[in-house]
Amino acid sequence: MKEPHQGDGGDLGRRVARRRAELGLSRDQVAESAGMDPGYVAYLEEHPGSLSRQALYRLAQALHTSPEQLLGADTDTPPGHAATAAPDPAIRPLGTRECLELIGPGGVGRVAFTETAGAAPLVLPVNYTLSEGAVVFRTAAGGVIARHTPGPMSFQVDRLDGGTSEGWSVLATGRAETVDDEARLARLRAHHTVRPWAGGERDVWVRFEPERITGRRVGGRHTRGQGGAAPPPRGAAGGPTSRR
């Protein structure tokens, strides 16, 4: 028998409650999705305790996060370093529209380009936003990115959950150029707040125009109700008896 996940139950409960609040879900909704008793979800949020691996996985799925995040896993380790909970993940290609919807909220992506022919590509993180179908970010004047513009570039964003073997990756190829037009710069500054990934003076705005966008989504091949294992009876969540 596998040992249940032990740890600071109070911290686990706070993470569960915080994630549930972020999603705007009730305890009843989380319990229904995780195959647990609502009273047990309440108990987890309010008392120290422990969960079996199976119960932790179901709870993470219900909260659209990973077991590692609920446990407060170390952020200094690469994604997917832990054993996956889904034994047979499926891969599905994404269309252009789906890719744009996924990267639309903005956040942290990576740009890649080569400075000279035959050289290894440079891959650098950037905080970005979308503006009129283009990726926009800020960089330093005279820096390696600014020196490369105008020029060909690739842009990649992903969201991977090593605990559930679910996630997606979007890759775009195209050209990047610095925004020099004062009217366009004024519009960007007025409508977009882009916090640079690194500190220092980064007042050069770069506009990356995608020419080709591809993507992949990875997810568990089986889900509850589609050939997967049936959830355990309510209350049998691998922890103490529910308290109402």
- Residue 53 sits in the same domain as residue 94: no
Is 99 among the domain residues? Answer: yes
- Residue 94 sits in the same domain as residue 65: no
- Residue 103 sits in the same domain as residue 18: no
Q: What is the pLDDT of residue 220?
A: 56
- Domain of residue 19: give its range: 9-77
Which tokens in the block code for residue 160? Answer: 């991977």
Examine residue 150 and say whether the peptide bond preceding it is cis (omega within 30 degrees of 0).
yes
Q: Are 93 and 86 in contact (CB under 8 A)?
A: no
Number of CB atoms found within 10 A of residue 233's CB: 10
* This prediction's pTM: 0.61
Q: What is the pLDDT of residue 155?
A: 97
Pick from 139, 141, 125: nearest CA to 206: 139
Pick from 62, 64, 66: nearest CA to 84: 66
CATH number at residue 146: 2.30.110.10
Number of CB atoms found within 10 A of residue 191's CB: 9
Q: What is the pLDDT of residue 97?
A: 94
Is 207 among the domain residues? Answer: yes
- Residue 127 sits in the same domain as residue 154: yes
- Residue 170 sits in the same domain as residue 56: no
3-state DSSP call for residue 151? strand
167, β-bridge pairs: 160, 218
CATH number at residue 40: 1.10.260.40
Is 225 among the domain residues? Answer: no
Q: Mean pLDDT, to the nearest integer, of 34-57?
A: 85
Structural domain tally of the chain?
Answer: 2
Is 228 among the domain residues? Answer: no
Is 73 among the domain residues? Answer: yes
Number of CB atoms found within 10 A of residue 17's CB: 16
Q: How confident is the model at residue 196 (pLDDT cuts 50, 70, 90)?
A: confident
Which tokens in the block code for residue 167? Answer: 């996630």
- Residue 96 sits in the same domain as residue 63: no
Residue 230 confidence (pLDDT) above 90: no
User: Of the given ranges (113-122, 185-194, 210-219), which has the lowest mean pLDDT?
Assistant: 185-194
